Structure 1
Amino acid sequence: MEKRIINPWKWQDERSYVQAVEVKNVTSTLYVAGQAAVYPDGTSSNDDMETQLKLAINNLETVIAEAGYEAKNIVRLTIYTTNTAELWPQFPILQEWIAKHGLQQVVTLMEVVSLFETLKVELEATAVK
């Protein structure tokens, strides 16, 4: 697999994403459904944004690993939140996770009216091999 990052500017570097990723010679692609703060028994978290974000990241990593992929090969990440203002102070958690895996992914952030039950944040990803 070959990845080429396209960044016409530098300002996105501080925000932990890239403008475009071109991927060639891919052997497989994994499309991961939105992962949120849902416990292994299927119970949705009632916790604060920080706790929910950490659990959503953990669930995303679990699905990717179970599929035989690596988080470092995420090329697209979509973040859904019910409250962007509440998510922003927690953004360093996401940035640390991105740096830990050396990700260079495109990102879309969307504030939505609601997510399932009590959920506040959901992470949807595409990974390649």
Structure 2
Amino acid sequence: MQKNIINPWTWQDSRNYAQAVEVKNIEGTLYISGQTAISEQGISSDEDMRSQIIHTIQNLEKVILEADYELKNIVRLNIYTTSSSELFENFELIQNWINKNNIKQTSTVLEVKSLFETLKIELEATAVK
């Protein structure tokens, strides 16, 4: 697989995403449903945003690794949240995770009216190999 990052500017670098990601010669593409802070028993978290971000990242990692893909090969990460202000107060958790795993992805952040039950954040991703 060959991955090319397209950034006509540099300002997005400090925000940990790319303007575009071109992928060639792939073996497979994994489209991951929105992952949230839901337990293995299917119970939605009612914890604060910070705790839900951590749990959501763990669930996303579990799906990707179970499918035998690598975190560094996430090429799209969409973030849905019920509170942009709470999300950005804790955004270093996501940025640190992106940096730690050498992820170079396109991203969109959207504030939505609600998510399932008590959930505050959802991460939807695409990974390639």
- TM-score (normalizing by structure 1): 0.99
Distance in 1 separating the partners of 2:50 and 2:122:
12
Matched positions, count: 129
Aligned residue for 1:69, secondary structure, equals coil
Aligned residue for 2:90, secondary structure, equals helix
The answer to whether residue 38 in structure 2 is matched with residue 35 in structure 1 is: no
> Partner residue of 1:82?
82
Q: Any idea what the Cα deviations from partners look like across 1:33-72, whole Å, max 9, x if unmatched?
A: 0000001110000000000000000000000000010111
Which portions of structure 1, spanning 4 or more consecutive aligned residues, are displaced by more than 3 angstroms?
none
Distance in 2 separating the partners of 1:14 and 1:21:
17
Give the unaligned 5+ runs of structure 1.
none
Q: Which amino acid aligns with 1:83?
A: S
Q: Any idea what the Cα deviations from partners look like across 1:106-128, whole Å, max 9, x if unmatched?
A: 00000000000000000000000
- TM-score (normalizing by structure 2): 0.99
Give the unaligned 5+ runs of structure 2.
none
Q: CA deviation at 1:24?
A: 0.1
Distance in 2 separating the partners of 1:13 and 1:113:
29
Percentage of identical aligned residues: 60
Q: Any idea what the Cα deviations from partners look like across 1:9-50, whole Å, max 9, x if unmatched?
A: 000000000100000000100000000000111000000000
Distance in 1 separating the partners of 2:72 and 2:55:
18
The answer to whether residue 16 in structure 2 is matched with residue 11 in structure 1 is: no
> Partner residue of 1:51?
51
Distance in 2 separating the partners of 1:19 and 1:94:
18
Distance in 1 separating the partners of 2:25 and 2:104:
17
Q: Which amino acid aligns with 1:117?
A: E
Q: Which amino acid aligns with 1:11?
A: W
> Partner residue of 1:115?
115
Q: CA RMSD in A?
A: 0.4
